[in-house]
Amino acid sequence: MATLHEAGFLEDAAAPHPAELSENDLRRYSPNLNFFRTRAAADEDFYAPQVRLKQTRVVVFGMGGIGTNVCMALAELGIGSVTGVDFDRVDLSNLNRQVLYSTPAVGRLKVEVAAERMREFNPDIEFTAVERRLESLKDVEEILDEAEPDFVFCLADRPNGWIDFWINEGCLRRGIPYTAGSVSSHVGTAYSVLPGEGPCYRCIVEGENAQHPEFQELLDYVRIHDLNSSNGALGPACMFLAYFLSYEMLRHQLGLGPMLTSHKLLEIDFVTFTQQWHDTTRRPDCPVCADVSPRDSAPATDRYSPGVGADD
C-alpha cells in the first residue's frame, strides 16, 4: 500500500469535493478529472486543475475558423469566462470550418450566434459577446481592461498587418500571456508570447526583417492597401490548430510544462504534416517588450507534475 501511495495510485475516497465545483461540474468534467488524476502526485489535489480552469478568464479575438474551434475547446474544458470579439456576420462560405454557426445563422452577427451556441452547449460558462471592429490599439486595450483576462487568443485577421501588433502590445502592457495562430491554404502557423519571459510578436517581426529586408516592404504594402488573401482554409486544419493552441493555454495555466511556441514559431503543412520549428529571440532593444518583467502570478511549470508511475 505504501508503494502504491508513493507512486500516486491511491486517493482518499472520503475526501470532500471542493466547494467551487458543483455536482453538475463533477459529472460534466469527470473525464477531465480522470485525466488530472493521472497527472497528480501522491497527496496532490487532482480537483485543483479543474477549479483553476473554472476560475480562468479568456478573451478570444476573432470568431472565425480557429476562433470558433477554440471556443468549443474552452467550453469542453470548463473555462469559467470567455469573451468573444468579432464584428462580422455569418456567411455561407464560413460553414466549412466555423463550427459555432449553422445554415440558419447566415446573415446574423457571429458573436450573437456564438453566444447562443456556447450557452446551449455549456450553460455554466459565462460567455460575453463583443461586437466590435478593431481599428486601433486603444480598441484592444478597452476590451482587455473590461474583460480582465488571464489568457488571450489572437485569432483575428483584420485589419491585416495591424491586429497582431495591437494585441501584442495591449497584452504586454498588462502582463497577459497569449497565443496566436493562422491558416493560409495548407500552411498553419502558431506562436505564443509570455510577457517578460520570451520574444514578443514585434521581436519576431524585427528578426524576420533583419534576415529579409523585403519583408517590411511587403508589410507596408499590405497595410496601405488593406489586403486580405482569399481564404483557402479547410475545416480539419482549423480544428487541429485550434486544439493545439488550446493545449498551449492549458500547459501555461495549469503548469503542465513550458509552452511549445513561447520561443519558437511553428509552421505546419497540413497536406504532408511536416512541421518546422523556427527559433525566435527576444530583442533587447525591442520598443514593446524590452522593459517588461515576467508576470508575478504566472503558474509554476511543475505545479501539476505527474507522480512516479503515472500514465502520461
Domains of the chain listed by start with CATH number: 47-279 (3.40.50.720)
When comparing pLDDT for 79 and 214, which is higher? 79
Model confidence at 75, pLDDT cuts 50, 70, 90, reads: very high
Model confidence at 302, pLDDT cuts 50, 70, 90, reads: very low
What is the SS3 assignment for the chain?
CHHHHHCCCCCCCCCCCCCCCCHHHHHHCHHHHHHHHHHCCCCCCCCHHHHHHHHCEEEEECCCHHHHHHHHHHHHHCCCEEEEEECCECCHHHHHCCCCCCHHHCCCEHHHHHHHHHHHHCCCCEEEEEECCCCCHHHHHHHHHHHCCCEEEECCCCCCCCHHHHHHHHHHHHCCCEEEEEEECCEEEEEEECCCCCCCHHHHHHHHHHHCCHHHHHHHHHHHHCCCCCCCCCHHHHHHHHHHHHHHHHHHHCCCCCCCCCCEEEEEECCCCCEEEEECCCCCCCCCCCCCCCCCCCCCCCCCCCCCCCCC
pLDDT at 70 over 90: yes
What is residue 88's predicted lDDT score, i.e. its pLDDT?
96
What is residue 225's predicted lDDT score, i.e. its pLDDT?
63
- Full-prediction pTM beyond 0.85? yes
What is residue 76's predicted lDDT score, i.e. its pLDDT?
98
Q: What is the mean pLDDT of residues 44-58?
A: 95
What is residue 24's predicted lDDT score, i.e. its pLDDT?
95
